Amino acid sequence: MAADTQADGDRDLGIPSDWLEPAMAANGIGSFDWDIRRDRVAGDARARRILGLETGPIVETEPERPADGVIDPDGPSMSSAEFLDLIHPDDVRTVSRRIRRAMDELGQCGAYYRTVMPDGTVRAVRFRGRVLADEQDRPTHMVGFVWDATAELHKRRRADENAAEREERTRFIREAARALSEAVTSADVARVFTELPLPGIPPDGLLLATLENGRIQMRAATGYHGANHVPHDRVPLDSGHPGAVALRTRQPVFISSRADYARRFPEAWPKVAETERNSWAFLPLIASGRPIGVCVASFDHERALDYDDRTLLSTLGGMVAQSLARARLHDAELELAAGLQRVLLPRRVPPVPGFETAVRYLPAGDGLQIGGDWYDVIPLPGGNVAVVIGDVQGHDVHAAGVMGQLRIALRAYAAEGHPPAAVMARASRFLADLDTGHFATCLYAEVSADYGSVYAVRAGHLHPLVRRNDGSATVQHVQGGLPLGVDPELEYPVTRFTLDPGEILLLCTDGLVETRKLELDAGMERLRRSFEDGHPEDLGELVDYVSGRAAESHERDDDIALLLLRWEGLEGRAREQLRRRIAQADLARISEVRAELRDAVRRWGVGDLADTVELLASELITNALVHTDRDAMLTARLHRETPGGPARLRIEVEDESDQWPTRRTPGEQASSGRGLMLVEALSDNWGVEPRGSGKRMWFELVSPGAADA
């Protein structure tokens, strides 16, 4: 430290001790004394040279002038204001504040500051001082050391810059990891990589390529234009291209110049020679021990990447590889799920005269995005249509497989002409026989093309909705039973309701109305409002609106199937045919078919035949069901030779029994045996025809003219 001083500035400041002065001289450290009361700052020769007040070397390996370490009180000095004038303006405030605090606290202070030398150069200086006080604790002197800190400050600045660069790279790795972890598909990974701002080594081009069938194929690039990307696209893995070498050796390849490229990779150089790049980094993408692609970072100027740069790029390559492997697996799962779902669901909805339909399927928001929800539209004999909506328990591949089998079976039962209750009962027995451990909810509805009657059967499913012509939408209650596959012997009740021309029937699965955040009743009310608010003119827009409201309001926890059906009425379609199947064990169905037949002949303009045709058709149907063990199929057709002229109504009842009817004369007390007698007596013509397996019984009635419907 500086030599002891005496109070009031009259004491001999002395010189540093014998061991301290050589050390100070060797390190270029000068000493100073600021007489606070007189406001004079004095320093030894080294201090004056450090401050630029004298010329000469600062560091003396062998001090030749001991006087250099002596502060001469009568020698050159300056005021504190003159001292502050030597300091760079940007540093004056810091130095002044620290000096004032040391004087107030009678303590120590120190600071780095810059001083402008007489030749205009800027030198960094550091000082350390201590405030001395008298008996009344008033500051009298500040003594201390001063030395040239230019090299020290540069070293410290470089250390700060290195620390800032390390922090920037750490932050980059953290942000890159976050962005890559959020990338879902391979396209997302490619986009994230090509948009990464590499710190300290901003490349002029970034390219991501994947290994496909033994070739490196470019997937995304930024900073590439013209032919710059050509040398790195569709490169064989067994070639001498640096990207192929990086994949084969599983080590990054760094090329610092064009000459380096030509020397190390002569086979690939001719194509690269036509590009504008001058240095490259090829990073192999290795995931689970398998090469899956390569990243390329290129620069317009020659660049020899240092250890830190190469470490950063290699780390980035590893992160991209893991993210790309995960994304490719996700892409494969999505492709599998989408393909399987396309196969299991109807490829298209068949057009049915008199009806308009629209369907949508939305996969669940997470998981494999495949499930057991399905829809179907089935044309039926006689021009009617059946609509189905169902949901097999679960949304995985197993559920989808069960759904596919159940959909095909139910479609087959419906196409055979079975009534709705029989279709549902048979589908339940089919699912139970599969023994998959799954059950399914389902809603099946048969809609009459002639007069809009709907016969609906529900197996543990949601009720349908109907939008009326006045714009209102209501939930249509349908009697229900247990889900399919639970009780194979269960008989399902049928609910009948009607649609007016232009009215719309909506069927959906519970994914549309129920989530973890939304209860079923609230979801049904939301669905009803959205069904009511949508525009019914375009059924496609309406189904998108209804499904979109559900998808936007809540995250989808389950897949969704949605089907809309509009009955357009009789206009523009064949009016004069009715076809119905009556199950052998369903004698109650005879009453329903009889009522439909009566309504049909009235609509066809031959209402005068309604009573007769109802009686005779009932006799034929009953005869087929009672005397055979098979189902019966009723077909009614009306033929007119000229508009408004005589009409011929033909009724046919088909069964699969080879037993032919026998006409007999019953006694007065007999309770049966008069059916064929009535047919023969009341019809204009009748007969029995073979039809391969089974027979067809028929009769015809002639109306002299068209009557009012």
pLDDT tens digits, one per residue of 377-402: 999 876 789 999 999 887 667 777 88
Q: Where are the alpha helices (DSSP H) in 183-279?
A: 186-194, 242-249, 258-264, 269-272
| Residue 206, SS3 per DSSP | strand
Q: How big is the chain, counted in residues?
A: 709
> Which residue in the block uniquely carries the two structure tokens 């015809």?
700
C-alpha triplet 146, 148, 151: angle, nearest 5°: 145
Distance CA(199)–CA(161), nearest Å, equals 13
Q: What percent of the chain has pLDDT over 90?
A: 23
Helix (H) / strand (E) element for 168: namely: helix 150-182
Q: What is the rounded CA–CA span in Å between residue 285 and residue 290?
A: 8
**Residue 8 pLDDT > 60:** no
Is residue 7 over pLDDT 80? no
Is there a contact between 390 and 461 (Cβ–Cβ < 8 Å)?
Answer: yes
Show the tokens assigned to 355: 């009806």
Ranges 53-57, 286-290, 424-428: which has the least confidence:
53-57
Mean pLDDT of the chain: 81
pLDDT score of 277 more than 70 = yes
Higher pLDDT residue, 180 or 555? 180
Q: Give the residues across from 34 on adjacent strands.
A: 41, 142
H or E stretch covering 453: strand 453-459
Inter-axis angle of helices 520-533 and 539-553, nearest 10 = 140
What span, in angstroms and rounded, lies between the C-alpha atoms of 60 and 27?
A: 8
432 against 223, higher pLDDT: 432
The dihedrals phi and psi of 139, each to the nearest 5 degrees, come to -65, 135
Residue 461 CB burial class (10 angstroms; 0-12, 13-18, ≥19): buried
User: One-letter amino acid identity for 320?
Assistant: V
- pLDDT score at 604: 84
Residue 365 tokens, joined: 């928001």
Q: Which domains does the chain have, with CATH numbers?
A: 7-148 (3.30.450.20), 166-335 (3.30.450.40), 346-567 (3.60.40.10), 577-703 (3.30.565.10)
Q: Distance (Å, rounded) from C-alpha 115 to C-alpha 52? A: 8
Q: What is the pLDDT of residue 276?
A: 82
443-455: pLDDT as tens digits: 999 998 866 888 9
The answer to whether 524 and 509 have CB atoms below 8 angstroms apart is: no
The dihedral over CA atoms of 595, 598, 601, 602, expressed in degrees to the nearest 10, equals: -110
pLDDT attached to residue 570: 57
Instruction: Please state, as a whole number, how many other Cβ atoms lie within 10 Å of the Cβ of residue 129.
Output: 24
pLDDT over 50 (residue 5): no
The tens digit of pLDDT for each residue in 459-508 reads 999 999 999 888 899 999 999 999 999 998 899 999 988 888 889 999 99
**pLDDT confidence band for 555 (50 / 70 / 90):** low
> Exposed e or buried b for every residue in 639-658, given b needs 16+ CB within 10 A?
ebeeeeeebbbebbbbbbee
Answer whether 688's CB lies under 8 Å from 658's CB. no
pLDDT (tens digit per residue) in 664-701: 555 444 444 567 888 888 999 988 877 656 788 889 99
Q: Is the pLDDT of residue 654 over 80?
A: yes
Q: Is the pLDDT of residue 296 over 80?
A: yes
Using CA atoms, how far residue 674 sits from 632, 668, 682, in Å, is: 20, 11, 12
Of 1-5, 594-598, 635-639, minimum mean pLDDT range: 1-5
- Report d(CA 383, CA 574) in Å as an integer: 9
What is the pLDDT confidence band of residue 18, given thresholds at 50, 70 and 90? Answer: low
Give the whole-angstrom CA distance, residue 176 versus residue 158. 26
